[in-house]
Structure 1
């Protein structure tokens, strides 16, 4: 009985960690993309930077 419970909890823990890691990885990807857009447009005016960031947010990547 205890071994079954342990295995179930272990499996659930692995699934939760997998989801957390996936969300964290996605957040880092989004942050990196926004940073890249800012650096790419650094020499341009700030309106273009704001437009690119808004465009990225709307894309749902």
Structure 2
């Protein structure tokens, strides 16, 4: 058994069954980093995460 996002259903093999989970709370992911960080890979991750976030929850740059 595994919990995967609905978008992963297209990648399941035909031997697998996908059963929607309707009674779980939504998942929230938080990113945190030191304020003095100048990491370019980290900055790219944060920009990508902000771009993929729902429009009403995306931080303003």
TM-score (norm 2): 0.28
Higher relative contact order (CA 8 A, sep 6+): 1
The structure with the larger Rg is: 1
Higher helix fraction: Structure 1 or Structure 2? 1
